[in-house]
A and B are shown apart, each in its own frame.
Chain A
């Protein structure tokens, strides 16, 4: 069964970790406004390990929120937990121009 979309933010010493759950598409829109408000650290890790499909609308939402966090919160953003297709989409759409890929420890 499809997991409803949600975003969890964990505050830690290394910064804010943003965890995405479920598919990221037009239905996720309203959650992204909260995300931008709640991020406060100057280092943000976006974790897509539990995310599902990200379609073109989801990519647009991510691009918008990453730009806002970088501009408004002056935060550095890194990305982890991508599957193969989402890695490909992030490369195609320039998300990795805005956020680095976190290296596995």
Chain B
């Protein structure tokens, strides 16, 4: 049976329009299972991140340059997605972040962070969900626009991890049920149209 990501949630995609503006568009639930099954890992603590990434890299076995580049991109994407779920998602009632990046922590009672992925040999689909539902599509849209507009080398620019996800993944999406669940996902092709530009449909310029 195909696993369809979070079908009950509103799925938001993000596109660069003809005016160079980031727009948030309704997305479609992403089908994770394209024939080879879904791999699923539950995060128990911050220490699990490297172990999960190592397992994911085993799913993407292959000795050629394309597989190596896919493993590099996948590891970065999962790193950013899990960092978001572990540190940015948990908020108190006033919206303040509960944990600082880099600190060790275990999963709280009732908290759930899950990575799901599938790889059909040509396309890796990734999704990380958390049980906070604290990320809004408007925030994602603002962060992508901020990072896209700034050509300088600011060290402390908010939302850089989300920008990396949007830039590198095809069909990048965010699904949110406020206060209950956030899911972030997208797909990485084994052979991206342009290795220099990541996801082909964004038109993002990079400095040469």
Contact partners of A85 in chain B: CB under 8 A: 69, 72-73, 76
Q: For chain B residues 31-73, which have a beta carbon within 8 Å of chain A? A: 50, 68-69, 72-73
A100 within 8 A of B: no
Determine if A93 and B102 form an interchain contact, defined as CB atoms under 8 angstroms apart. Answer: no
A26 near B155 with CB under 8 A, answer no
**Which of these binds chain A: B8-16, B106-114, B116-124, B159-167?**
B159-167
A26 to B164, Cβ gap below 8 A? Answer: no
Chain A interface residue count, CB cutoff 8 Å, equals: 30
Q: Which of A55, A83, A98 contacts B161 (CB 8 A)?
A: A55
Give the docked Cα–Cα distance between A95 and B206 (Å).
Answer: 11
| Nearest opposing residue in chain A for B197, CB measure | A88
A59 near B206 with CB under 8 A, answer: no
List residues of B (125-169) whose CB comes within 8 Å of A's CBs: 151-157, 160-161, 163-164, 167
> Please, which residues of chain A bring their CB within 8 A of the CB of B207?
91-92, 94, 96-97
B198 part of interface (Cβ distance < 8 Å): yes
Find B153's partner among A57, A67, A83, A89 (CB 8 Å cutoff): A67
A60 lies within 8 A of chain B by Cβ? yes
A8–B150 Cα distance when bound, in Å, is: 32
| Complexed CA–CA distance, A93 and B150 (Å) | 9
Most chain A beta-carbon neighbours within 10 Å: one of B80, B153, B195: B153
Report yes or no: B153 in contact with A97, Cβ–Cβ below 8 A: yes
The minimal Cβ–Cβ distance linking A26 to chain B, given in whole angstroms, is 3
Q: Could you tell me the distance between the alpha carbons of A59 and B69 in the complex, rounded to whole angstroms?
A: 19
Inter-subunit contact A60/B102 (CB<8 Å): no
Task: Report the Cα distance A53→B73, complex, angstroms.
Answer: 9
CB-CB nearest 8 A-B residue pairs: A26-B102, A94-B153, A85-B72, A63-B155, A56-B161, A56-B160, A64-B155, A26-B101
